[in-house]
């Protein structure tokens, strides 16, 4: 079982602040790193799938970077809005078959 860790577990930011979270994963036998956004009472939705060391992906105000050699990924949110409030999950795969999730970072954006 892969050990995927996310930090912080939760955080509160003011509207307009920029923030970032960390996902750490085993760097050996790496296949892919996923980020998902999970709003309360909904199902998780994919943000990014990243496979290459040095990958950077962006979707609107949200971006992510990947370092496979040291085993970490950062998710950045620029100018947080209340609608960004959600739990952000990362998941790592050490094969084509399985994805192991971290326990998530719960973000609350205060108006």
CB of 6 to other proteins, least distance (A): 8
Nearest CB to other proteins, comparing residues 28 and 111: 28
Q: Are 28 and 92 in contact (CB under 8 A)?
A: no
DSSP assignment letter at 81:
-
What kind and span of H or E run contains 101? strand 100-101
Neighbours of 39 (CB within 10 A): 13
Question: Which x/- pattern, by CB under 8 A, does the window 81-110 give for other proteins?
Answer: --------x-x-x-xxxxxxxxxx------
Footprint of other proteins (CB under 8 A): 1, 4, 31-32, 34, 36, 42-46, 49, 51, 89, 91, 93, 95-104
């Amino acid at each position: 079982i892969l050990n995927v860790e996310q930090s912080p577990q939760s955080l509160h930011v003011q509207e307009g602040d920029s923030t970032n979270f960390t996902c750490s994963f085993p760097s050996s036998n790496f296949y892919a790193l996923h980020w998902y956004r999970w709003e309360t009472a909904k199902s998780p939705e994919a943000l990014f799938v990243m496979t290459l060391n040095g990958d950077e992906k962006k979707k609107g105000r949200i971006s992510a970077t990947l370092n496979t050699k040291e085993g970490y990924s950062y998710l950045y949110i620029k100018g947080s809005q209340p609608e960004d409030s959600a739990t952000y999950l990362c998941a790592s795969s050490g094969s084509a078959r399985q994805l192991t999730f971290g326990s998530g970072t719960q973000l609350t954006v205060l108006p």
